[in-house]
Amino acid sequence: MRKVVVIGGGYGGIKALEEFARNDQNIEVTLIDQHTYHYLQTESYDLVASKIPIQESFIYLPTLVASFGKNFHFIHDEAVAIKEDQVVCKEGTYPFDYCVIATGSVTKFLQGFEKKGKHSLGVKSLRAALHIKQYFEEELFARLEPKRAKRSFRVIVIGGGLSGVEIAAEMRCYFNQYVKENALSCGNIEIQLLSKHILKGVDQKTRDKAVKRLRQLGVSLVPQYVNEITEQKAILSGGETIDFDFAIFAGGIEPSPFIQNLEYTKDARGFLVVDEYLRVEKNIFAVGDVAVLKDKEGNLIPPTAQSAEQSGVIAAKNILQAISNQPLQRADIRLRGLAIALGGKYAIIVTPFGFQISGILGWIGKKAIEKGYKWPLKLKAKQGFEKLTACKGEK
């Protein structure tokens, strides 16, 4: 029986598992992750804005993996190295015939941000999202007292990419709605989005519509880069400084320490260089944010949930092909449109056919995409719960 180890239970790792589960070959698949959950980062902003409970923001990995069958196993451990066809973790070593590296990326912080405390965080982890949610809820609760309600409060969001735009819009909408429902004054709560560019790389029509929506909500746009963060002060590229009460960093990613320690070929940023079949070595594949992904024309593919999912499927198919001594499939990753949540029941969907859907219809479409991904996994996890011996008889 061939052994396959998947490192990382993110979007790419989960799609690889699903692809392995669809085949009837005699393989044993082990998923290793330092967390016991698959974090649904696309829904993190709804979590921060208290639109969904915490259990709707993740999938429990032990039950999900159990649903795929007796040859699928979950190991809660942290990978630290790959040596001689073995994944070396803090708690054990796991041999493999084939391996898929799908550990994702981490936030690349600015100078000063690495010393972040209670006043500043990134947004790529469930723990960070919960911290931000708690901080804002405590601030809003305090504003029920008249004296505290008059105090000005400034949140800065650093980064004008998809994550920055979505979190700025959702938080502004969240504050607006809270104030409206509780008859409070909102003028002294400020959300600033700091970035030289908004949605760089997206078509001009979509950018213009997104900027218009941000301004309608009341988000202040500051068209400068942030060079450094000190204690509750942002130093801008133009030399100015901005004081803040809370900062959210949503710009830039870098490889995790695990990837940094690997000795495979990497690009200038430290991400793994893969061949046309997504291999870093003959029997080791890399997918999602950890890999330098390109389309068939050689154009770089941005790190998104879409590209992670597609690369996870391709890597799994190629492993199955290799086991069967069949030709491998060249990666042809293509982004099929774009969905941008812009606060409340408003979103923009850029379809692969060139037209847009915006407003509440865009929001409905985006939610349909999210639910279409989450609900099947939730159902599988429920089935896996029934299969786990330790859970027999529990309700």
Q: Mind listing the pLDDT tens digit for each residue in 30-60?
A: 999 999 999 998 888 888 888 888 999 999 9
Q: Are residues 117 and 174 located together in one domain of the fold? A: yes
Q: Are residues 153 and 234 located together in one domain of the fold? A: yes
Pick from 210, 227, 251: which residue ends a domain? 251
Which of 19-33, 218-232, 244-258, 279-293 is the most confident on average? Answer: 279-293
Q: Look up the domain containing 24 and give its range.
A: 2-34+77-106+254-335
How confident is the model over 59-87, as a mean pLDDT? 95
Q: Mind listing the pLDDT tens digit for each residue in 217-245?
A: 999 999 998 888 877 888 998 889 999 98
How confident is the model over 259-286, as a mean pLDDT? 94
Q: Are residues 120 and 223 located together in one domain of the fold? A: yes
User: For position 315, what pLDDT does the model report?
Assistant: 97
User: For position 335, what pLDDT does the model report?
Assistant: 84
The answer on pLDDT for 155 being more than 70 is yes
Looking up tokens 């529990």 gives 394
Q: What is the DSSP string of 290-353?
A: GEE-B-TT-PBPP--HHHHHHHHHHHHHHHHHHHTT-PPPPP------EEEE-SSS-EEEE-TT
Pick from 320, 335, 350: which residue ends a domain? 335
List beta partners, residue 37.
Answer: 60
Element (H, E) at 384: helix 360-387
Q: Are residues 182 and 232 located together in one domain of the fold? A: yes
Q: Are residues 189 and 279 located together in one domain of the fold? A: no
Q: For 110, which DSSP code?
A: P
Q: Are residues 200 and 82 located together in one domain of the fold? A: no
Q: Mind listing the pLDDT tens digit for each residue in 304-323?
A: 899 999 999 999 999 999 99
Q: For 219, which DSSP code?
A: P
Q: For 111, which DSSP code?
A: B
pLDDT band with cut points at 50, 70 and 90 for residue 119: low
**Cα(341)–Cα(346) distance, integer angstroms:** 6
Pick from 251, 279, 298: which residue ends a domain? 251
The answer on pLDDT for 363 being more than 60 is yes
Within a domain: 219: yes
CATH number for position 17: 3.50.50.60
Alpha helices per DSSP H over 183-219: 204-217
Q: Is the pTM of this model over 0.85?
A: yes
Number of domains making up the chain: 2
Q: Are residues 235 and 258 located together in one domain of the fold? A: no
Q: Are residues 224 and 267 located together in one domain of the fold? A: no
Q: Are residues 101 and 132 located together in one domain of the fold? A: no
Q: Tell me the C-alpha to C-alpha distance, in Å, between residue 75 and each of 18, 36, 65, 79, 165.
A: 17, 9, 10, 10, 36
The answer on pLDDT for 115 being more than 60 is no
Q: Round the average pLDDT of the chain to a whole number and report it.
A: 88
Nearest to 167 by CA among 247, 99, 233, 95: 247
